[in-house]
Amino acid sequence: MDLDPRRRRAAVRIAAVAASFFLAAAQSCGGRASNGIPGDAGGDTGDSGGPTLAAARAIALGGDHACALLSDQTVACWGNLDLVDPFFEAGAPEPRSPTRVPALGGITQVAAGSLDTCVVFGDGGAACWGDATYGQIGNGTGYVLDDSGFVGQTQDTPAPVSGLGNARMSSVGASHACALLADGSIACWGDYLALGIPLLEAGANVRPAIVPGIAHAAEVAAGLGATCARVPGEPLWCWGQDLGGQIGDVSADGGVPQRVQLSPKAVPGLPPAAQVAMGQGFVCAVMQDTTVWCWGSDRWGETGSSTPGSQPPHPVPGLTGVAQLAAGGSHACATLQDGSVKCWGDNGHGQLGLGMVDTTDAGVAVPTSVPGLTDVDQVAAGDTHTCALLHDGAVLCWGGNSVGQLGLGSAGPDVPTPTRIPW
């Protein structure tokens, strides 16, 4: 399978890491609409021509769209939202600036994947919208077969995830999604091969199912056909398609079809992890000693290795003092404890924030400081774009902007320097 995102954008794009940051204490969830989704008491769209949006509290980047959880527990999104245009307004152009998602409130976390977005509510419920082809909405919708063959499905408006009432956080990948539940178990839905459930009945993938063997988890990350779970005091557990060795078994790389690990498997040789982030065929994790280890497919230095090819788990040289981590299409970024940011990997669209676009196709294997970026609370990575949330609630984005995924008000050329989004 070709892992080059610049040649695969029309197919499955990234397994963008979902933002794992959510409000520590849920406030009022508001009333429930007839569809079972908590309502937004404000009722306005919050687009660039409407009322001012509340400050951002967390960000999540998808393939070429982005969303922000706001301080009033609503969500604003921007970029390539072609799957959900009717959700905003039938016939309206895609939002190039942060635009409030209507009729949603009481949200404590937002997660974005390649073509989907999910939110978790204060009462433990969840809702998703976007591509439903593989059942990744979790409401019973999936692909259908008719006389013309395989027909994909979309979910234009937020749909409640069936039977999910105790979610703490969610993560959305390329064609599946997972939720960490209050009891420490994990439920997943969507693409069979990424769910970690070997004996799942046919058709059951379109609704959440508990992953066997995982208990007391603290985090889940969904990626490109694979999933990883972090359980305190245990190894990091991963399962799904071992594209590029992303589940930690590089000996499986190169075959067609790729080896599939249907049930959770411990990643070998890895120290205790504090956070995990999944990119497109590669994985990085922050260790408890604040260093970073990465493994999997490496073409542009995205695992921090100067040697192309599938990489086993290894420490990223010279990277320590890491507070938070994000992995995108073929690049990664880390927020350091001093509020600065370092990025590495593919820079073909300026997504490393270094002030230039790499035209050599070489990538940057050494984590490099993003100039002028300070006081950062969170960094998030998409296919070819990156955003940072500052402590004061400001959001800065950089990288590819072909469909307005930087939130600057218009689509256009790459922007290789962090640029503040008008809010």
CA distances to 126, 133, 388 from 327, in Å: 24, 24, 13
Buried/exposed code over 109-143 (b: 16+ C-beta within 10 A; e: otherwise) = bbbbbbbbbbbbbbebbbbbbbbbbbbbbbbebbe
Q: What is the pLDDT of residues 353-392, one digit of tens each?
A: 999 999 888 899 999 999 999 999 999 999 999 999 999 9
Write down the pLDDT at residue 80: 87
Comparing 29-33, 152-156, 200-204, the range with the smallest average pLDDT is: 29-33
Q: What is the pLDDT of residues 83-139, one digit of tens each?
A: 444 445 555 566 899 999 988 999 999 999 999 999 999 999 999 999 999 999 999
Domain count, the chain: 1
| Residue owning tokens 């398609």 | 241
Model pTM score: 0.88
- pLDDT of residue 43 exceeding 70, the answer is no
| Residue owning tokens 């050599």 | 360
Write down the pLDDT at residue 11: 31
> What are the residues whose beta carbons fall under 8 Å from the beta carbon of 17, sequence distance 6 or more?
61, 171, 221, 223, 277, 278, 279, 326, 327, 328, 380, 381
For residue 220, the enclosing domain spans 5-420
Q: Within a 10 A sphere around the Cβ of 23, how many other Cβ atoms?
A: 15
As given in the structure block, the two tokens for residue 238 are 């991963």
Write down the pLDDT at residue 58: 98
Q: What is the pLDDT of residues 382-422, one digit of tens each?
A: 999 999 999 999 999 999 999 999 999 999 999 999 999 99
Q: Within a 10 A sphere around the Cβ of 163, how many other Cβ atoms?
A: 13
CA distances to 54, 97, 127, 187 from 221, in Å: 27, 27, 17, 12
pLDDT mean across residues, the chain: 85
- Rounded to the nearest angstrom, the gap between the alpha carbon of residue 281 and the centroid of all alpha carbons in its chain is 13
Residue 97 maps to which CATH number? 2.130.10.30
Rounded distance between C-alpha atoms, residue 235 and residue 206, angstroms: 29
Angle at 357 between CA 275 and CA 338, to 5 degrees: 35
